[in-house]
């Protein structure tokens, strides 16, 4: 299963604000690389994603990319469409529908609500669609001239997928999506 959210695109047992990055994560960030770890949750019914990237841009620039639904299909592997179904007039939340399509698998429709604390925190949770589980959080933490973006999500596909296949796909797609987030955010500040 592919990452369905990066811009929009995944509350986990440990909130991102409390996420302690393991030494290998900090080492990846120090080298300018994204970090992504995908594990099975305690009951084995879903996958848990922990990811982070440092971006040389202010949180506001990154936030504008993360909330741009039209941009999402260019940034997330196999994401075919993103549309806002409902929006709070004050901008505190929205509901999005995303359609993903992978080769040899049926399309997956995910509908989720995002709650915003701009430009620092976004939580999301499933409100409809095909996924069995979809919940998580993005956190943007400024550190001098850069912003550390952390992402945690819990996701379960609507059909049986061997765990190793899902983890392999996500370990590839999550870093690629984070790199796309960095590229787009940095383009907005240059």
Give residue-wise pLDDT tens across range 117-160: 999 999 999 999 999 999 999 999 999 999 999 999 999 888 77
Q: Which segment, 15-24, 29-38, 150-159, is predicted with the most confidence on average?
A: 29-38
Cis bond upstream, residue 119 (ω within 30): yes
CA dihedral 118→87→182→110, nearest 10 degrees, is 130
What domains are there in the chain, each with its CATH number?
Answer: 16-189 (3.30.530.20)
Q: Is residue 188 within 8 Å of 61, Cβ to Cβ? A: yes
Neighbour count for residue 135 (Cβ, 10 Å): 18
Q: Which residues on neighbouring strands pair with residue 97, listed in sequence order?
A: 83, 111
pLDDT-derived band at 18 (thresholds 50, 70, 90) equals: very low
Residue with tokens 């701009």: 118
47-55 and 146-156 as β-strands: parallel, antiparallel, unpaired? antiparallel
pLDDT band at 105 (very low <50, low <70, confident <90, very high): confident
Is residue 11's pLDDT more than 50?
no
Tokens 């997928």 correspond to what residue?
161
Distance, in Å, from the CA atom of 44 to the CA atom of 86, rounded to the nearest integer, reads: 32
pLDDT over 70 percentage in the chain = 88
**What distance lies between CA 45 and its chain's CA centroid?**
19
Q: How long a stretch of residues is the chain? A: 190
E-assigned strands of the chain?
35-40, 47-55, 79-87, 93-100, 108-117, 121-129, 133-143, 146-156
What number is the average pLDDT over the span 102-116? Answer: 90
- pLDDT in the model for residue 106: 84
User: In the Cβ-directed half-sphere of 127, how many Cα atoms lie within 13 Å?
Assistant: 15
Question: 95: which 2 tokens?
Answer: 């509901």
CA distance 67 to 81: 14
């Amino acid at each position: 299963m592919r990452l369905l959210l990066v811009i929009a695109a995944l509350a986990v047992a440990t909130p991102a604000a409390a996420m302690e990055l393991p030494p290998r994560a900090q080492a990846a960030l120090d080298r300018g690389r994204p970090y992504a770890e995908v594990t099975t949750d305690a009951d084995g019914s879903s996958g848990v994603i922990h990811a982070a990237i440092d971006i040389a841009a202010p949180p506001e620039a990154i936030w504008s990319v993360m909330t741009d639904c039209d941009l999402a299909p260019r940034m997330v592997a196999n994401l075919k469409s993103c549309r806002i179904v409902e929006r709070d007039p004050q901008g505190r939340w929205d509901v999005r529908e995303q359609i993903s399509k992978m080769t040899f698998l049926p399309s997956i429709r995910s509908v989720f609500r995002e709650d915003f604390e701009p430009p620092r925190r976004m939580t999301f949770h499933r409100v409809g669609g095909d996924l069995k589980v979809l919940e998580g959080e993005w956190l943007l933490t400024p550190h001098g001239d850069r912003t550390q973006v952390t992402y945690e999500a819990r996701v379960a596909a609507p059909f049986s997928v061997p765990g190793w296949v899902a983890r392999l796909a996500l370990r590839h797609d999550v870093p690629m999506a984070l790199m796309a987030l960095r590229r787009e955010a940095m383009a907005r500040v240059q």
